[in-house]
């Protein structure tokens, strides 16, 4: 059965001293989400193509690579070579958004665009037909373990309504930041279909597998 909902486990919350093991335990997720931060666009520095390549060797799951970096166009080919399945660029870092999306597609990858909580939805609508996915940030990017910004539920609802008008191709709607078993269904109910979760998976008291199961169980009542 094809899953209607996709759980993307964010390794930012994993224990990096045993990253391979943590990723193995996250095999019940649908995708592995990798947060790349440069210390410029966001106030944190995380991982680059070398780590993506190591993660790629540790799992058969698709790698959903979230680029929170300035000038992302310079690094797209490196992340593609490292094994990324999808690349997400931020609208705030990409003055030539259409062109950068085309570069991702030309590398044979799924292309996605992310919007910070303070960025208006209309910034992405001009390029929607080029996109496989739109990422609505539900926290300000930079760190895991932050509290959800609740107004983003309405933002997702509005985006879903806009995308639903007409018969055009529907990009997936991904949410990222502060997602847990208490709030995930609220996002599913307003049209989100890809759920990034870091802390609620990797810091779950009963372990990583239980963290993924809790999220899947919370989606059961809304699963069609
Ligand atoms: C935040 C990152 C998220 C982060 C989510 O800037 O984009 O992917 O890992 O972590 P949690 O689920 O802990 O909020
Ligand atoms: Zn992310």
Kindly give the distance from the C-alpha atom of residue 168 to the centroid of ligand 1, in angstroms, as a whole number: 30
How many domains are contained in the chain? 1
Q: How many CB atoms lie within 10 A of CB 121?
A: 15
Q: Confirm or reject: Cβ of 211 under 6 Å from ligand 1.
A: no
Per-residue pLDDT of the chain (224 residues; tens, 9 = 90+): 345 899 999 999 999 999 999 999 999 999 999 999 999 999 999 999 999 999 999 999 999 999 999 999 999 999 999 999 999 999 999 999 999 999 999 999 999 999 999 999 999 999 999 999 999 999 999 999 999 999 999 999 999 999 999 888 899 999 999 999 999 999 999 999 999 999 999 999 999 999 999 999 999 977 65
Residue of 15, 145, 194, 198 with the most ligand 1 atoms within 8 Å of its CB, for mutation: 198
User: Is there a domain that residue 1 lies in?
Assistant: no
User: Is there a domain that residue 109 lies in?
Assistant: yes
CA geometry: angle 89, 198, 127, nearest 5 deg: 20
Domain that holds residue 187: 6-223
Residue with the smallest CA separation from ligand 1 atom 7 is 141
Question: Taking Cα atoms as reference points, which of 26, 48, 20 lies closest to residue 10?
Answer: 26
User: Is there a domain that residue 32 lies in?
Assistant: yes
Cα Rg for the chain, rounded, in angstroms? 16
Residue with the smallest CA separation from ligand 1 atom 6 is 141
Question: Taking Cα atoms as reference points, which of 181, 173, 178, 171 lies closest to residue 157?
Answer: 173
CATH of the domain at 101: 3.20.20.70
Q: Which residues are catalytic?
A: 35, 176
Q: Which atom of ligand 1 is nearest to the CA of 37?
A: 6
């Amino acid at each position: 059965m094809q899953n209607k909902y996709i759980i993307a486990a964010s390794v930012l919350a994993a224990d990096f001293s045993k990253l391979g093991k943590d990723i193995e335990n996250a095999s019940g997720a649908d995708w592995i989400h990798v947060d790349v931060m440069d210390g410029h666009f966001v106030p944190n520095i995380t991982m680059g193509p070398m780590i993506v390549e190591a993660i790629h060797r540790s799992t058969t799951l698709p790698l959903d690579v979230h680029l929170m970096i300035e000038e992302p166009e310079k690094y797209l080919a490196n992340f593609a070579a490292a094994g990324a399945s999808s690349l997400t660029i931020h609208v705030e870092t990409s003055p030539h958004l259409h062109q950068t999306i085309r570069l991702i597609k030309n590398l044979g990858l799924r292309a996605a665009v992310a919007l910070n909580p303070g960025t208006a939805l209309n910034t992405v609508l001009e390029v929607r037909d080029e996109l496989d996915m739109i990422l609505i940030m539900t926290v300000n990017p930079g760190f895991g373990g932050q509290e959800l910004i609740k107004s983003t539920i309405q933002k997702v609802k509005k985006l879903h309504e806009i995308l639903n008008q007409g018969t055009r191709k529907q990009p997936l709607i991904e949410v990222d930041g502060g997602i847990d078993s208490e709030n995930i269904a609220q996002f599913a109910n307003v049209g989100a279909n890809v759920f990034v979760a870091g802390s609620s998976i990797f810091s779950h008291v009963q372990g990583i597998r239980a963290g993924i199961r809790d999220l899947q169980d919370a989606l059961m009542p809304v699963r069609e």
